[in-house]
Structure 1
Amino acid sequence: MSSRGGQHGQVQPFSDEDASIETLSHCSSYSDTASVADEGGEAGEDAALEDFQYKLKGFIDSTVDKSAKTRQGALDGLKTAMATRILYEFISERRMTITDSIERCLKKGKGDEQRAAASLACLLCIQLGSGIESEEVFKTLKPIFKNILADGSANIQARQAVATSLGLCTLVAEDDILDVHATMECFENLFTRSYARMDGTCPLISPQTSQLHTNALLSWALLLTICTANQLKDILRKHLPKLPRLLESEDVNMRIAAGETIALLFELARDMDTEFEFDDWDELCDKLNALATDCNKHRAKTDKRKQRSVFRDVLKAVEESDFQPETIRFGTERMTIDSWVRKRTYDAFREFVGSGMNYHLQANEFIRDVFELGPPMLVDSATIKAMKISRFERHLHNSAAFKARTKARSKFRDKRVDVGEF
């Protein structure tokens, strides 16, 4: 393999400069023609694209290098490229090669390498979108993910990464809703170990294991958003009475994850039945209120501040069915995070693409479909002013979106299966 990416044959991860090359996006025909013209027209674009693809091929080759450091650099390089640009055509042609590399790194690598491979698997599915290609990738990797997740002797950082990746890969690429439920049970086997005992005492769990349980809970919550109505009814009966026991955890991240999951379950329950009632509602609201106003001197100030902010929102969700909306702007578009379902889904994707989220919201057809944004809009600067709408028009649009919300959520949850099967 050429050492073009670095000295002594080691491939270096992408720099910020590499990640911002405009022609990365050309692989998906989503390019900024103005930038290309500035850099020398078609010839400059072709040269930059060729150089970029050469570098990507070098990363793919280096995922099987003898040096763990080189493999790690190659995995990180591919992760950065997939997180910051759409590379569907390039990746589609090489998906099985990349999948084989991920499989090898997961099986034979150690902590950091396994963690990078797990994240790369997720980004590969995000690039390929929902369909036969990502399904084939996931069928290869799912058994390995589940083995690592269930193996108490496996590297804890690898298990944490797999807990997160398995959740999103399942959302994107699982073609059987019964298999979704089986994966959710794998997550339940982990996070239920953090439940406070009936006498109110908490099990002794290391911070690393608590993070594993938190990741498992968040992935479980993500998959709640695509459960059928019958599955949700079963989950509400089995788990909603017990989940508040996670609010006793010593780990602030677990408490917050548990609070947000409870808010999500209440939202889903009320979507199915506006008269939904919870037997221990008063006791739960007392717990949530205590966390929203926590003055425990033994907790760090930053933890208390973060916790109080989240639990004020969770308490409103449980008491008043209220959600504090947030507007995400990307390019000339905007999207409102207006429900716990949409928040959990958005946070899950952002976990992997990071600062590339706005780009993916603009250009990734699969992610746009998940958030009901329509086909990608290719916009040049000359049309931006024409696309700006008045406040009144925006108000009408938001009102229509609000009325359609419950219907849209139900459609998204049940799209893979006929509820009558259950």
Structure 2
Amino acid sequence: MGKSHRRKAGGDQFDSSDADSVSSVSTGFSELTLANDTEYVNSQEFELEKYIDALYEKRFITLLSQYINSVKRGSTKEACLASRAIGLLAITIGAGSSAHEIMEESVSRLSQALMSGSDSLKKSSVLDCLALVTFVGANDLFETELSLKTMWQVIYPKSGPNVGPVKKLPPTVLAAAISAWSFLFTTVSSWKINPDNWKEEISFLSTLLEDNDRSVRIAAGEAISIFFELGILDQNEQVDTDSINHEDLKHGVLAYMQSMKAKILFKANELSVEAGGKGTDKKNLNDQRDLFQKILDYVQTGECPEISLKISNKHGFLRASTWTEIIQLNFLKRFLGRGFLKHSQDNELLHDIFDFARDNSESLSSKEKKISRTEGDKGRTQKMNKDRKLAQRSSVAHRCLLLKSYRTFYTGDGF
């Protein structure tokens, strides 16, 4: 800091007025100096903050770069851990410019790692990572579609440039890969969709409903549920058929989708009532039956199943009431594992994605809790009665729907 030094003169050269004048000037000069010093300090602190921010950004990018290098060159275990770290980084930061920067820095390199390696477990981890960084960081449909295309080439190699023999993914890895692709695919609901762009995906997923592995059939069914919700198989207002210029081509696309819908519903009905055999995984069997029955109900009634998870007394419940939200919830639960509960409580990204309802039961009196339980029991009874009536109507409707599906599927009337 600067300090004023004045040369002292003889006392006989100053009277009292001069002393006052000097005092006044000295005070004014000190105030001016203090203001200048303060401005200087503030300026230096501002510069220091900028340097700290720049250092933080540099460390952030350096850390990301090290993770990416581990994905590209590390062992299988190292690559899997690094992929997970990048995904967690994106989820923790949340949507915004930083997340977009993560996506820009990592997408091309993750894509290279997917195409250059043959390790199935590594591919699965990288697919999860690519889905997450694009889900959080993408700004438009073009960026999302690039990642979807890359992921699809791993799931269905014939769609890519490879012409030689390709090693088939193990069933568990294929199921995880489809789940990751489906998770990212849920984001296309924000834009108008040209159904002609998704014919290959629908066709391949429909063949996977006949796969020998039940986990693959379930993953394919979840992906197909999004196509129903987006209206690609039903042609609702979300579908952009106007972008199909030629009328004959438009008619062909619509007829193709009707045919695929009939084929899928035919198979979904079989899977919803499949009998368990010796040595089968009963949990997966029940999950399969439940999923495909819900898909049939959704196509018939338009009502989507709802999931409600208790987060805590303070944070209440997390609710998913569309196929899109259910797919997103299932993927994030799988990826975050034990950390899902903490993220549900504190992570703003999850709060933006899902509907959270606060649990107010803790503030109720004993009498109010009893009334609430009674009303809840009454509501559940009414819902059960409604479900029974719906099931009865649905059974008849399903038979009609399936008869129509059989006729379309076997005779080609849909064309």
TM-score by structure 2 length?
0.61
Q: Structure 1 residues 194, 350: CA separation in 2 closer, same or farther (over 3 Å shift)?
A: farther
What do the CA deviations read for 1:253-302 (whole angstroms, capped 9, x no partner)?
Answer: 11101111111210111694399973343332221111112236476243
Aligned to 2:344: 361
Q: Structure 1 residues 385, 235: CA separation in 2 closer, same or farther (over 3 Å shift)?
A: farther
CA distance in structure 2 between the partners assigned to 1:286 and 1:271 by the alignment: 19
Q: Which amino acid aligns with 1:368?
A: H
Q: Which amino acid aligns with 2:220?
A: A
Match of 1:287 among 256, 262, 267: 267
What do the CA deviations read for 1:303-353 (whole angstroms, capped 9, x no partner)?
Answer: 433322322222223333332212111123212221110011112222222
Q: Does 1:190 align with 2:173?
A: no
Moved more, 271-280 or 252-261: 271-280
Query: 1:194–1:205: 8 Å Cα contact kept in structure 2?
Result: no
Q: Structure 1 residues 212, 232: CA separation in 2 closer, same or farther (over 3 Å shift)?
A: farther
Match of 1:166 among 130, 147, 152: 130
CA distance in structure 1 between the partners assigned to 2:102 and 2:152 by the alignment: 24
Query: 1:240–1:262: 8 Å Cα contact kept in structure 2?
Result: yes
Q: Structure 1 residues 137, 210: CA separation in 2 closer, same or farther (over 3 Å shift)?
A: same
Q: Which amino acid aligns with 2:363?
A: K
Aligned to 1:314: 295
Aligned to 2:88: 123
* Per-residue deviation, 1:174: 1.9
Q: Does 1:214 align with 2:175?
A: yes
- CA RMSD in angstroms comes to 3.7
CA distance in structure 1 between the partners assigned to 2:236 and 2:94 by the alignment: 28
CA distance in structure 2 between the partners assigned to 1:113 and 1:297 by the alignment: 39
* Per-residue deviation, 1:235: 4.0
Q: Does 1:260 align with 2:240?
A: no
What do the CA deviations read for 1:154-181 (whole angstroms, capped 9, x no partner)?
Answer: 4221111111221121100123320211
SS at 2:318 equivalent:
strand
* Per-residue deviation, 1:129: 0.6
Moved more, 178-187 or 297-306: 297-306
Moved more, 283-292 or 118-127: 283-292
SS at 2:258 equivalent:
coil
Q: Structure 1 residues 99, 321: CA separation in 2 closer, same or farther (over 3 Å shift)?
A: same
Q: Structure 1 residues 350, 299: CA separation in 2 closer, same or farther (over 3 Å shift)?
A: same
SS at 1:230 equivalent:
coil
Query: 2:317–2:356: 8 Å Cα contact kept in structure 1?
Result: no
* Per-residue deviation, 1:135: 1.7
* Per-residue deviation, 1:372: 4.9
CA distance in structure 1 between the partners assigned to 2:137 and 2:229 by the alignment: 25
Aligned to 2:144: 180
Q: Which amino acid aligns with 1:126?
A: I
CA distance in structure 1 between the partners assigned to 2:57 and 2:363 by the alignment: 36
Query: 1:148–1:154: 8 Å Cα contact kept in structure 2?
Result: no
Query: 2:192–2:238: 8 Å Cα contact kept in structure 1?
Result: no
SS at 2:303 equivalent:
coil
Q: Structure 1 residues 224, 204: CA separation in 2 closer, same or farther (over 3 Å shift)?
A: closer
Q: Which amino acid aligns with 2:192?
A: N
Query: 1:210–1:254: 8 Å Cα contact kept in structure 2?
Result: yes
CA distance in structure 1 between the partners assigned to 2:130 and 2:292 by the alignment: 27
Give the % identical residues: 20
Moved more, 294-303 or 346-355: 294-303
CA distance in structure 2 between the partners assigned to 1:204 and 1:101 by the alignment: 30
CA distance in structure 2 between the partners assigned to 1:98 and 1:262 by the alignment: 37
Q: Structure 1 residues 147, 280: CA separation in 2 closer, same or farther (over 3 Å shift)?
A: closer
* Structure 1 runs not aligned, ≥5 long: 1-90, 196-202, 396-422
* Per-residue deviation, 1:243: 2.5
Query: 2:103–2:137: 8 Å Cα contact kept in structure 1?
Result: yes
CA distance in structure 1 between the partners assigned to 2:329 and 2:57 by the alignment: 24
CA distance in structure 2 between the partners assigned to 1:243 and 1:182 by the alignment: 19
Query: 2:320–2:354: 8 Å Cα contact kept in structure 1?
Result: no
CA distance in structure 2 between the partners assigned to 1:232 and 1:254 by the alignment: 26
CA distance in structure 1 between the partners assigned to 2:288 and 2:347 by the alignment: 33
SS at 2:308 equivalent:
strand
Q: Does 1:231 align with 2:193?
A: yes
What do the CA deviations read for 1:194-247 (whole angstroms, capped 9, x no partner)?
Answer: 99xxxxxxx9975x4444433332222222222144335344555334431111
Q: How many residues align?
A: 291
Q: Which amino acid aligns with 2:324?
A: V
* Structure 2 runs not aligned, ≥5 long: 1-55, 160-164, 240-253, 380-415
Aligned to 1:156: 120
Q: Which amino acid aligns with 2:311?
A: F
Q: Which amino acid aligns with 1:309?
A: D
Q: Which amino acid aligns with 1:268?
A: L
CA distance in structure 1 between the partners assigned to 2:279 and 2:217 by the alignment: 13
CA distance in structure 1 between the partners assigned to 2:268 and 2:157 by the alignment: 21
CA distance in structure 1 between the partners assigned to 2:352 and 2:144 by the alignment: 20
Aligned to 1:30: none
